[in-house]
Chains A and B, each alone.
Chain A
Amino acid sequence: MKIHEYQARRLFEEAGIPVARAETAKTPAEAEAAAARIGTAVAVKAQVHVGGRGKAGGVKLAGGPKEAAAAAEKILGMTIKGSVVRQVLVMEKVNIAREVYLGLVFDRDRRGHGLIVSAAGGVDIEEVAAKTPEKIHREFIHPLAGLSGFQARKAAFSLGIPKPAALETAKTLMALYGLFQKTDATLAEINPYVIRPDGTTVAIDAKMNFDDNALFRHRAIESLRDMQEEEPLEIEAKSADLAYVHLGGDIGIIGNGAGLVMTTLDVVTACGGKPANFLDIGGSSSPEKVRRALEIVLKEKGLKVIFLNVFGGITRCDDVATGLVQAIRSLAPKIPIVIRMTGTNVELGMNILKESGLNLKTHPTMQAAAAEAARLSGT
């Protein structure tokens, strides 16, 4: 799960990390008032989950309250990579001597966590890693030992900043790690972390992602979720206990099991079709789940056909057929449904489809069904 900069900034502040003074604003008037209270030049920053907002014009500097209002006027309502800006963060303008990057990540290959720092702050860290890897310092964090003070100092001293600033940065890294662990985060990033001309340090950006599987023990973090930043159909599917990803094509896809659905998307794509979505009804599916799945997929705009691909294991084909017939009767979809079903109770399932009188055609293989779906979508 992702959260906004202003929310991560607040978590940083509570964890004892020095952060720049800032307030959120939802209108130009609020931005003006916030800038007046802060009393210095400010940066007005769009609050959206997607990256690259600076390049998209979502961050503007303002000399005072009037300019802050004008900047907010321009940024609020702007669309950045599909996300509409509904809020800005008005942040004191900080004097900068040096900008560095500080980050904590989940290290899948080494089965632990990684501390990453770079003297090249304020730019895309993946670009730094690709072009100038020598500017990056990494420390492996063993999950049972945690981040040790010496590792934080080693990383901070690698940045080539004055000693007092390095020691302060090491303190920030320890605080950041404490927060990262306590909240089951998968990413915590400060880019940039600023060393002021007077040698003091401060975070002027904040980013955190969290492990979805651990949210059950972090209600306070889960409450930070911004529903408007997420795909509406993905939220709806989640509440029905279905895994959903919006993809944007015109062939609705429903299947059981993540691997099988991914493969279905691949086979459809190979046939020249464009999948609209990924929808996994799971390993043990009831007729009700199938009905909900069809209901959700039908909300995708511009659908031309739906492809249902089920391998009956624990999921029984008769359950799937029953759910499908019920769903078609109540939802009366106007687009064709291509069905491929095999495995447990396939004969029973086929009979249910046949006796429904709904004229539902089935295909014996995934390949044949995918080709038919692609043909019907007219691509």
Chain B
Amino acid sequence: MSILVDTHTRLVVQGITGRDGSFHAKQMKEYGTQVVAGVTPGKGGARLDGLDVPVFDTVAEAVEKMKANTSVIYVPAAAAADAVLEAADAGIGTVICITEGIPVNDMLRVHHSLAGRPMVLVGPNCPGVISPGKSKVGIMPGFIHKPGRVGLISRSGTLTYEIVFALTSAGIGQSTCVGIGGDPIIGSRFTDLLPRFESDPETDAVVLVGEIGGSDEEQAAAWYAERKRRIRMVAFIAGKSAPPGKRMGHAGAIISGGKGTARDKIETLQRAGIAVAPDPADIPGLVRAALKD
């Protein structure tokens, strides 16, 4: 098993006629993902260069005609919130939003509008989700992954690749790797996804990759400490040397009012019994040690 995406994933690509959308649609298809449809409003019926995927005007059509159950969004920031709502309205169960730069107020409206719906939103401003060997939905390079029993949840993109590559090189495969995004308002936080890994019989441990800003890592620590968990956890926090008040690339990576420092997060995670790697290179060793517990 795995979480969020697998061999049953039937993907619709929102924004498929754009530069990023068409490039990554091809990459995902090559990886083996079932890319069943694309959507660009006004371009329904269009043929894509070198990609045999039907294009529709609406997500509803993609669901009706191609039985799409998962969506990935590559539309520009100004239209991305609307794209998420359209996917939800069409009955898509898992929506993964790659787009960076969406206004905070747009995401607040999306988040509260979707409350109570049985839909999972991952992102925005994220690399996507991959269950190695089964399905890749996003922009991550597929070749660095290897099927296995360790899950990964991260607020970062490239840093995640770095860590996945280190795991794979050490012979540790992954069940599912989820990039939850670097924005202050994201669809799924660590605590929304950890229970899914906890109930996935094919995941034994989870690597949490956090960074400065917000309190999602502290909440993850609280979740882990709440009761005896089946999965083992290892964490890494980026931004130990980041100055307060400066936004470090990600919209959500900022220490404000003295809150959200790396040190606070590391101490909270350690108190919850989670080993925190001082350096990304230490992660494979800590994962092995955690699995022996």
Q: Residues of A with Cβ closer than 8 Å to B?
A: 106, 108-109, 111-112, 126, 142-144, 181, 184, 186, 211-214, 216-217, 243, 245, 247, 255-263, 265-270, 275, 278, 280, 283-284, 311-315, 342-344, 365-367
Contacts and interface: CB of A to CB of B under 8 A. Distances in A.
Contact of B144 (A186, A266, A343, A367): A343
B103 A214 contact: yes
Given A217-B78, A259-B157, A313-B144, 10 more contacts: A213-B77, A213-B102, A214-B104, A256-B158, A259-B156, A259-B182, A265-B241, A269-B240, A283-B127, A314-B141
A245 B246 contact: yes
Given A106-B184, A108-B185, A259-B154, A143 B108 contact: yes
B279 interface: yes
Contacts of A144: 109, 112-113
30 contacts: A108-B184, A108-B185, A108-B214, A111-B108, A111-B185, A126-B257, A143-B111, A184-B105, A213-B77, A213-B103, A216-B78, A245-B249, A257-B156, A258-B211, A258-B253, A259-B154, A259-B159, A259-B211, A261-B248, A262-B238, A263-B162, A266-B238, A266-B240, A270-B240, A270-B279, A313-B140, A313-B158, A314-B141, A366-B280, A367-B279
Contacts of A278: 246, 248-249
Interface string B250-287: 11110001100010000000000000001111000000
Contacts of B112: 111-112, 142-144
B101 interface: yes
A213 B80 CA distance: 12
B249 A263 contact: no
A46 B105 CA distance: 32
Contacts of A143: 105, 108-109, 111-112
A103 to B, nearest CB: 12
Contacts of B280: 263, 366
B156 A366 contact: no
A315 B108 CA distance: 31
Contacts of B129: none
Nearest to A256: B158
Contacts, number: 159
Contacts of B239: 262, 265-266
A214 B159 contact: no
A257 B140 CA distance: 12
B31 interface: no
A265 B239 CA distance: 8
A143 B144 CA distance: 40
B199 interface: no
B85 interface: no
B223 interface: no
Interface string B138-168: 0111011000000000111111111001000
Contact of B141 (A213, A280, A313): A313
Contacts of A217: 78, 103
Contact of B101 (A181, A213, A275, A365): A213
Nearest to A242: B249
Interface string B116-153: 00000000000100000000000111011000000000
Nearest to B250: A258
B251 A314 contact: no
Nearest to B182: A258
Contacts of A258: 156-157, 182, 211, 248-250, 253
A261 B158 CA distance: 9
A342 B280 CA distance: 14
A367 B158 contact: no
B247 interface: yes
Residue of A111, A112, A184 with highest tally of chain B CB at under 10 A: A111
Contact of B247 (A245, A284, A313): A245
Interface in B40-68: none
B275 to A, nearest CB: 17
Given A108-B214, A280-B249, A259 B158 contact: yes
Nearest to A265: B241
Nearest to B243: A247
Given A184-B104, A267-B279, A311-B161, A275 B241 contact: yes
A257 to B, nearest CB: 3
Contacts of A111: 108, 111-112, 185
Contacts of A257: 156-159, 161, 249
A287 B157 CA distance: 20
A213 B251 contact: yes
